[in-house]
C-alpha cells in the first residue's frame, strides 16, 4: 500500500528535476548559434582592423588618399608595398571566410 504513493513521489521528483534541468541550462543548438555569431563578429572585426591598416598606409603614401594608382605604388618603399599586398591578401581571405559563414558553409 505504501508502494504506490512512494512510486508517485519518485516519479514526480524525477519529472520536476527533468523540467528544471531542461529549462535551466542552454541547449546545444543555442550554444552553437551563439558560438557562430561570436566567430562571425571576431572575423568581421579582424577585417575592419585590416581595412584600417590598409587605409592608413594608403593615406600616408598615396596622393588620392585611400586608393593608390599603379604609378604611386611603384614609388612606395618595397617593404611597405609587400605589407600592403600581405594585408590585402589577408583581408580577401577573411572576407571569403565571412561570406562562407553567411551562407552557412563551415570553414
d(CA 21, CA 18): 5
Spatial distance between the Cα atoms of 68 and 39, rounded to a whole number of angstroms = 32
Percent of the residues in the chain that have a pLDDT greater than 90, as a whole number? 30
Q: Which three cell numbers stand for residue 18?
A: 527533468
Q: Where does the pLDDT of residue 94 fall: very low under 50, low under 70, confident under 90, or very high at 90 and above? A: very high
Cell of 44: 568581421
* Domain ranges (residues) in the chain: 29-102
% of residues, the chain, pLDDT over 70? 92
pLDDT digits (tens, 9 = 90+) for 45-84: 999 999 999 888 888 877 765 677 777 777 778 898 899 8
CB burial readout 31-60, b (16+ within 10 A) else e: eeeeeeeeeeeebeeebeebbeebeebbee
Report which of residues 26 and 73 the model is more confident about.
73
Amino acid at each position: 500500500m505504501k508502494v504506490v504513493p512512494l512510486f508517485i513521489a519518485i516519479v514526480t521528483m524525477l519529472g520536476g528535476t527533468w523540467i528544471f534541468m531542461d529549462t535551466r541550462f542552454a541547449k546545444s543548438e543555442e550554444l552553437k548559434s551563439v558560438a557562430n555569431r561570436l566567430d562571425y563578429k571576431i572575423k568581421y572585426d579582424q577585417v575592419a582592423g585590416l581595412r584600417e591598416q590598409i587605409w592608413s598606409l594608403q593615406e600616408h603614401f598615396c596622393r588620392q588618399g585611400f586608393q593608390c594608382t599603379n604609378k604611386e605604388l611603384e614609388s612606395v618603399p618595397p617593404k611597405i608595398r609587400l605589407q600592403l599586398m600581405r594585408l590585402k591578401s589577408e583581408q580577401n581571405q577573411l572576407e571569403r571566410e565571412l561570406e562562407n559563414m553567411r551562407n552557412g558553409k563551415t570553414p
